[in-house]
A and B are shown apart, each in its own frame.
Chain A
Amino acid sequence: MQLLNLIFIVDDDPIHQQIANLMIKRQGIGEKVKAFSEAQDALNYLREYIYEPDLLPDLILLDLNMPVMDGWDFLNDYAGFYEKLPKKIGIFVLTSSIDDSDRKKVDDYAFVKGYLTKPLSSEIINKLQEE
């Protein structure tokens, strides 16, 4: 079991951000949590610190249903550059959608480690650490 240094939450729902933050903290799987309401901001961050592995997250919890740029846009963009990243970032899709078509579509992105559905729970948080 390894303590995660930095976890990104990409979700436009501020309540969810708070909940995720609280649960991660309470579960004690990571030290720092950074939330992004807009996917574009998260991508900008990754690009900005592409050569500074210490500042890059270990884990990204990505929501799919977001305004302007949604989770799919994020994944498509990320697919273009993630191989250049100095460290391996675990990406989990964390969505309220239980739609099977979404689940299958996510399978197309090999670098996505898992498809998780809301609500977040202690069990799910623990899973993140195992991976």
Chain B
Amino acid sequence: MNDAIINKALASFVPALLLDLNGNLLSANDRARGLVQLPGGNAGKVHYDHLFGERTGIYWGGLLATLQNGLKACIEIAGPGGQWTAWQLLAHDEYFVLLGQETAQPDKLFTHLPLGIQQFSVEGFPVKSNALQKDIWGPHHPIFIQPGYNILRDPVYRQIGLSQLFDDVLVTGRSVKKEILLRYQEFAVGDSVRLSPCYYEATVFPAFNQQRQITDLYLLLKECTAQKLTLMGLEKSARLLDSVVEHLPIGYVQFDHHGFMRRINHTHREFLKIRPGCHEEGYNIMSDPFARMYGFNEMFMTVVTENRMIRKEIEVDFSAENTYTDFSEVRWMDYTLFPLQDPIDKKTIVVALINDITDKKLEHYMRNELQRNTEQLHLFFDAVDMGYATLERDGRVNFMNRKAAQMAGVEIQPGCNIFEVIPAFRTPSPFLDRLARALKSTVSASFSSYFYGMDKWYDFLVTPMRDNTVSVFIRDITGSRKLQKELHRANSQLSKLNRNLLNQNQQLEDFAHITSHNLRAPIANLKALMQLHNHSEKEKEREEYLGMLESVINKTDETLNDLVNVVQIRKETDIRQELLSFETRLQYVSNVLMQDINQSGLQITIDLEESPLVRFPRIYLDSILQNLITNAIRYRMPEKVPTLHFSSRKENGMITLTAEDNGMGIDMNRFGSKLFGFRKTFHKNPDAKGIGLFITKTQVEAMGGSISAESAPGRGTKFIITFKTE
């Protein structure tokens, strides 16, 4: 733009002002003078700020900056007649030009403003308002129906603070703005009427005259209910959130991105028992020694730099922290740190959620311990050489150690029922009844049983437990049982041996006795006769001695033969035995002795039905029967018909044979002990050689039996022979 334009402009009707680089007015054309209400002359002393800045709030510096930024630098002010002029700043070398252009009609603007506007006098009386404002007031507003209405004295508006805005403007001369709950709106919901608040942004600004005096007051009202309600809602949410955070059941601590603690909630404050009056606002997680001790600074850094959440369980000894709290316990804490963005400055903040998990840890620990104990116990039970199982009372298995499973012979899983899975337990038996009873019982029971399939003896101890389960201990006593049996067998063998030894010892003693008496006697005679013979000089005497010698030798030979017989019997204990009939053998022996029996007239009777058979060596039984018959004949009463009665019985698993005669009998008191002795005779009977009963006794005893006699002189004799049965 050049001077020509300027001049032309200035000269023309276009209102124009010429300013220097500092905003001082250099000149103005008449039209412009009128519009900006410039006093005549002295134009050089007027500055833009005085003419425009103070009226519009847009001062020289601000307008100039707009222009220099390449934007259109415009201001609008109202002229003295109320008409608006838009002024555009243009640069021209070392000058600036403000060109004015009248814009719309002020009334029109007033009317069509998208806000409510009401003009008041400085005293507070209403002047005029636009249509929108009339709507806001409503047709029944006192402003329309109450003569002399004054907004400064409206009690309602004073209460809600609207009137005060006018006071403020009158005092300060500046516009003021405030949100006001102006009124309530009624709306019908069904049959009822509800009220909803209507918020307005109220702006009161003054209008000045040329003397800088306030001429009018303007009230602008713009409804902002929606925004206000939204904001209030937000505030409410924020407050709620705040309250929630404060009373969360876990600790909440918030740090700024430098690590300074910005917030700590009530819960955590209570937990830590934070000392009142400590300067917690100075707490920094990066520098606090206690925090560094547990590595919270590193956690914080990780959260900030890697922008991710971190969660850690840490056992914290709070006694190491003395600055902020007296709390001094050791606790297991669960720390969760996560980053958040500050909604305002968009910087990262860090939130820590803190939970005391000591009880949980303890519980966990206890559970682990319990688990470990149980496992150890089970390991232990696996190690012992004894079956162990815990069962429910119905037989379901809770636990069974390895040994018990081995004993059962099948794999048994917990939950199985022993009465179903163990093959030996499927068929009913007295043992099973016993076991089932013991499982139901409230007292311990101990019993043992033999299992044929396994050839095992097991000893059971069944003990009810307090938790209504049952502990079963099983011991394999097969070894000890067998040992016991073997011991028993060895014992009986030993005692049999002992008996045999005693028997043999007795026999040896008998033999010593026999040799002493029955063999030494003839030898002594031989010696004596030899002496007599040697000392004799008479041939006749010597022949006599030799004759006697011969008789002694014959007798000795006889004795020796008897003894050899006896020794033979004793030696041959394993002589062949056979099942013999008493009656048959008796028949046979009777035939052999037929002549003697007939001569003596012996009457033999029998009663052998009850036990007709015996297992015995045949020649022994024949010899025994022969001796008994011979005795009955030899020692019969001369004046009586001799009788002999045989009978056999079974008694206590033994077979007894009795032979009862009616002979002379013997005095048992005198001779009882010698009755069965070698070469013992008790009668003056020349046939008595004292060998028969000795042989009989030897034969009976060699086969494990025994013989005894009942007798009295003149009353007959009863021999009782007991045969051993296998």
**Chain A residues within 8 Å of B, Cβ to Cβ:** 13, 15-16, 18-19, 22-23, 26, 38, 64-65, 67-68, 73, 95-99, 102, 117-122
Contacts and interface: CB of A to CB of B under 8 A. Distances in A.
Interface string B514-554: 00111011111111110110010000000000001001100
A113 to B, nearest CB: 20
Interface of B: 512-513, 516-518, 520-529, 531-532, 535, 548, 551-552, 670, 680-684, 688, 690
Contacts of B520: 96-98, 118
B690 A67 contact: yes
A82 to B, nearest CB: 20
The secondary structure that dominates the B interface is helix
Which 4 pairs across A and B sit closest by C-beta, in order of nearness?
Answer: A118-B524, A96-B521, A67-B681, A119-B524
A68 B666 CA distance: 10
Contacts of B528: 16, 19, 23, 118-121
Contacts of B521: 13, 16, 65, 96, 118
Nearest to A40: B684
Contacts of B548: 15, 18-19
Given A16-B525, A67-B681, A99 B531 contact: no
Given A15-B552, A19-B529, A99-B513, A68 B524 contact: no
Nearest to A13: B521
A65 B517 contact: yes
Contact of B516 (A15, A26, A73, A96): A96
Contacts of A68: 681-684
A117 B516 CA distance: 10
Contact of A121 (B531, B552, B680, B690): B531
A91 B518 CA distance: 23
Contacts of B516: 96-99, 102
A35 to B, nearest CB: 14
A97 B21 CA distance: 179
A99 B519 CA distance: 13
B693 to A, nearest CB: 13
A13 B548 CA distance: 12
A15 B682 contact: no
B532 A22 contact: yes
Given A16-B521, A65-B521, A119-B528, A73 B551 contact: no
B531 A67 contact: no
A99 B681 contact: no
B688 A67 contact: yes
A56 to B, nearest CB: 25
B412 to A, nearest CB: 73
27 contacts: A13-B525, A15-B522, A15-B529, A15-B548, A16-B528, A19-B529, A19-B548, A23-B532, A26-B535, A67-B682, A67-B683, A67-B688, A68-B681, A68-B682, A73-B670, A96-B516, A96-B520, A97-B520, A98-B516, A98-B520, A102-B516, A118-B520, A118-B525, A118-B528, A119-B524, A121-B531, A122-B531
Contacts of B535: 26
Contacts of B513: 97, 99
A22 B530 CA distance: 13
B397 to A, nearest CB: 74
Contact of A15 (B551, B680, B684, B688): B551
Nearest to A22: B532
A18 B527 CA distance: 14
Nearest to A70: B674
**Listed residue (B528, B552, B683) with the most chain A CB atoms within 10 angstroms of its CB:** B528
Contacts of A96: 516-517, 520-521, 523-524
Contacts of A22: 532
A64 B535 CA distance: 28
A90 to B, nearest CB: 21
B66 to A, nearest CB: 161
A19 B535 CA distance: 13
A13 B523 CA distance: 12
B665 to A, nearest CB: 14
Given A99-B513, A120-B528, 7 more contacts: A19-B548, A67-B683, A68-B683, A96-B524, A102-B516, A117-B524, A118-B521
B685 to A, nearest CB: 10
Nearest to A73: B670
B690 to A, nearest CB: 7
Nearest to B688: A67
A38 B524 contact: no
A4 B562 CA distance: 41
